[in-house]
């Protein structure tokens, strides 16, 4: 009899724990303000600087270039979902001494959709030596 009560208590605690975890997961998914975006940026030759810029009328850091790292770059950046929705343009730029800068642009919505659909923002720009036409 005592063992049955102990077993019932363990089962009840386990179910309560599962319900609490499920509620927390549902609340965090609905209220998440962050959109994780994975990046993979390569260049030939390697070692180019990778930067991004967000432009929009309601964005306080609009127009400022932010350094992400050097190529080959693989990482994740946490974007504010509101920032993505309100951005007019998101740009990635690759820069390396002796080569022309390369830039790729998206709208905020298309940037988020590409990262969500493909699971990553992947870009391999062609590095063109400066002075070559």
Q: For 52-81, how does the pLDDT look when each residue is reduced to its tens digit (9 = 90+)?
A: 898 887 777 778 898 989 999 998 888 888
Does 5 or 66 have the greater pLDDT score? 66
Alpha-carbon dihedral 18, 19, 25, 30, rounded to 10 degrees: 170
**pLDDT at position 74:** 92
Where does 1-133 have alpha helices with state H? 2-30, 81-86, 108-118
Does 19 or 87 have the greater pLDDT score? 87
Do residues 92 and 49 make contact, with C-beta atoms less than 8 angstroms apart? no
Mean pLDDT of 81-89: 80
**pLDDT at position 130:** 92
Give the confidence band of 35 by pLDDT, cuts at 50, 70, 90: confident
Residue 25 pLDDT more than 50? no
Give tens-digit pLDDT for 93-105.
999 999 999 999 9
Mean pLDDT of 91-116: 92
Residue 14 pLDDT more than 60? no
pTM here is 0.69
User: Could you give the CA distance from residue 120 to residue 111 in angstroms, rounded to a whole number?
Assistant: 10
């Amino acid at each position: 009899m005592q063992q049955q009560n102990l077993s019932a208590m363990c089962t009840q605690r386990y179910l309560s724990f599962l319900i609490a975890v499920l509620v927390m997961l549902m609340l965090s998914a609905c209220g998440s303000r962050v959109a994780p975006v994975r990046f993979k940026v390569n260049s030939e030759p390697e070692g180019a600087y990778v930067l991004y810029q967000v432009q929009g009328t309601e964005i306080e850091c609009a127009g400022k270039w932010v350094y992400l790292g050097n190529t080959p770059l693989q990482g994740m950046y946490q974007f504010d979902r509101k920032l993505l929705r309100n951005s007019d343009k998101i740009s990635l730029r690759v820069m390396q001494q002796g080569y022309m800068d390369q830039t790729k642009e998206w709208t905020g919505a298309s940037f988020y959709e590409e990262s969500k659909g493909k699971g990553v923002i992947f870009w391999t720009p062609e590095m063109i030596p400066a002075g070559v036409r």
